[in-house]
Amino acid sequence: MPTTLTLKNIPDEIYQRLKASAVTHRRSLNSEAIVCLETVLLPGRIDPSERLARARALRAA
């Protein structure tokens, strides 16, 4: 079940990097933060873009 997490006192540099990353990936700031947390805490999961790249490589072979 999803829950709410509030972050306080985030250093400006981290906030700006997260914001820039969200813009680059066309995600909301919240979604980008979740993806970053999943990447670190659930490393066994495959990123959707990586999964797509693998599928395309298999089709091309």
| Tens-place pLDDT, residues 10-21 | 999 999 999 999
The answer to whether residue 49 is domain-embedded is yes
Q: Is the pLDDT of residue 50 over 90?
A: no
The answer to whether residue 7 is domain-embedded is no
Q: Is the pLDDT of residue 46 over 80?
A: no
Give whole-number Cα distances, 34 to 30, 37, 41, 58, 59, in Å: 6, 5, 10, 29, 31
The answer to whether residue 2 is domain-embedded is no
The answer to whether residue 1 is domain-embedded is no
Number of domains in the chain: 1
3-state secondary structure the chain: CCCCCCCCCCCHHHHHHHHHHHHHCCCCHHHHHHHHHHHHHCCCCCCHHHHHHHHHHHHHC
The answer to whether residue 43 is domain-embedded is yes
pTM of the model: 0.68
The answer to whether residue 21 is domain-embedded is yes
The whole domain housing 24 covers 12-60
The answer to whether residue 32 is domain-embedded is yes
The answer to whether residue 6 is domain-embedded is no
